[in-house]
Amino acid sequence: MIGPDAILWRDESLVAVLKPAGLLTIPGRTPGAPTLREELERLVGERLLVVHRLDRETSGVVVFARSEEAHRRLCLAFERREVEKRYLAWVAPGPVAPGGEIVQDLVPARRGFVRVARAGEHGQRAVTGWTLLGPRGEGALLEIRPLTGRTHQIRIALAEAGMPIVGEPHYRSPEGVRPRPGVRLFLHAHRLAFAQPATGEAVEIEAPPPRELER
């Protein structure tokens, strides 16, 4: 499912790849389903270590470590929020403000989903910043800056804010705005920036949106 052109960055410590929508990062609930890790390991001919993941429906940059030491340092960087993450999302309807920050406490829900914590529940704090890039048809294109790394954080944050991502199949807006069916989830991990684990040099990796999102 992926070819050599999907590799965005490769050095002695890591490999970064453009994950297509519809492909699991690692094995999930479906036995035998192909995964990005397996595809990339076949492509590069070596064992790789998982540093982070993207949802099955989300496309964009995913980084794998090539050694145990690189894996340890990269995982620590994500845990300590030393990795700058940028996503692109097309939402409908468009926002009424140029940007903002969404702060929520999230708790696990059924079948691997999450929900906003109710009064009295203790959840994990999720902080999601966003900036309006411009109108797109009946919606708008946003740049998203997740300051934490919770499951489905961006998807539920935008839905709860009344700006569900176009193609979102699960999370509904409390204002009654329903996701638009018939298209893939328009959420793309556009950019990662972090310190190279061996040298400390700044690394910036960008993934252009896939063709179906450009269209």
What is the DSSP annotation of 27-53?
--SSTT--BHHHHHHHHHTS--EE---
Rounded alpha-carbon distances, angstroms, from residue 7 to 43, 54, 63? 10, 16, 10
184: in domain:
no
Identity of the highest mean pLDDT range in 138-152, 176-190, 192-206: 192-206
pLDDT of residue 5: 95
Q: How confident is the model at residue 119 (pLDDT cuts 50, 70, 90)?
A: very high
pLDDT of residue 211: 82
Task: Please give the DSSP secondary-structure letter assigned to residue 26.
Answer: S
25: in domain:
yes
Q: What angle do CA 185, 190, 194 make, to 5 degrees?
A: 140
69: in domain:
yes
The answer to whether residue 136 scores a pLDDT higher than 80 is no
103: in domain:
no
92: in domain:
no
* CATH code where residue 32 lies: 3.30.2350.10
pLDDT of residue 95: 83
Q: Are 199 and 213 a contacting pair, CB within 8 Å?
A: no
The answer to whether residue 113 scores a pLDDT higher than 80 is yes
Q: What is the Cα–Cα distance from 59 to 184, expressed in whole angstroms?
A: 10
Mark whether 105 is an active-site residue. Answer: no
Token pair in block for residue 53:
């993941």
Q: What is the Cα–Cα distance from 3 to 82, expressed in whole angstroms?
A: 30
Token pair in block for residue 153:
């954080």
Q: What is the Cα–Cα distance from 34 to 1, expressed in whole angstroms?
A: 9
18: in domain:
yes
Rounded alpha-carbon distances, angstroms, from residue 15 to 26, 54, 149, 208? 15, 15, 21, 17
Q: How confident is the model at residue 176 (pLDDT cuts 50, 70, 90)?
A: low
The answer to whether residue 200 scores a pLDDT higher than 80 is yes
Which is more confidently placed, 36 or 184?
36
pLDDT of residue 50: 97
- What number is the average pLDDT over the span 162-183? 79
Q: Are 179 and 168 a contacting pair, CB within 8 Å?
A: yes
Give the chain's mean pLDDT: 92
Range of the domain at 24: 4-83+191-207
pLDDT of residue 87: 98
Q: How confident is the model at residue 179 (pLDDT cuts 50, 70, 90)?
A: low
Q: What is the Cα–Cα distance from 155 to 177, expressed in whole angstroms?
A: 14
The answer to whether residue 213 scores a pLDDT higher than 70 is yes
Lookup result for tokens 């397996």: 38
26: in domain:
yes
pLDDT of residue 180: 61
The total of structural domains in the chain comes to 1
75: in domain:
yes
Q: Are 190 and 87 a contacting pair, CB within 8 Å?
A: yes
Token pair in block for residue 42:
């076949």
Q: What is the Cα–Cα distance from 189 to 154, expressed in whole angstroms?
A: 11
